[in-house]
Amino acid sequence: MKIPEIRKILENEHKRLTIELGLHSDPELNGDRPASPFNKKMEAASQITELEQRLIKVRRIKQQLADIEHALEKIDNGTYSLCDNCGKPIAEARLKAIPQASLCLECKSSQNRTLLGAYAK
């Protein structure tokens, strides 16, 4: 794929995610949700679980937007397709599958192993 095509894909995905983020950003996410009218523990627990799930989704969308913005910056800087960690080229197949990828497969695998090791402790 050529850079203009990649830019268009990234920009379209950025727009889609921005819209999705807007749908999930409301006063309820800021803790302004009114108290349960029935003050039942089960309803309150359900509301908390729902709020946690929405917060996780918002966090994921924001991370995806940041990754896309970083990829667009790399395009502008002429460093797109180079690994942020080792500087080697990122495989074309990887970029085709994940245009916002900023690490080559080797560095991403190493990062994942490090994270898994940290969680195992």
Long-range contacts of 107-116 (CB under 8 A, 24+ apart): 107/83, 111/85
Residue 112 CA, chain-centre distance (Å), reads 16
Report pLDDT for 40: 66
Tokens of 31: 């803790």
pTM of the model: 0.78
Is residue 100 within 8 A of residue 10, CB to CB? The reply is: yes
Give the pLDDT confidence of 78-113 residue by residue, as tens digits.
999 999 999 999 999 999 999 999 999 999 999 998
CB 68 within 8 A of CB 14: yes
CA angle centred on 25, ends 56 and 35, rounded to 5°: 85
- How many domains are there within the chain? 1
**Domain CATH code at residue 21:** 1.20.120.910
Angle between helices 41-77 and 3-24 (to 10 degrees): 160
pLDDT tens digits, one per residue of 18-43? 999 998 876 444 444 555 555 566 66
Q: What is the average pLDDT score of the chain? A: 86
- Residue-range definition of the domain harbouring residue 14: 3-120
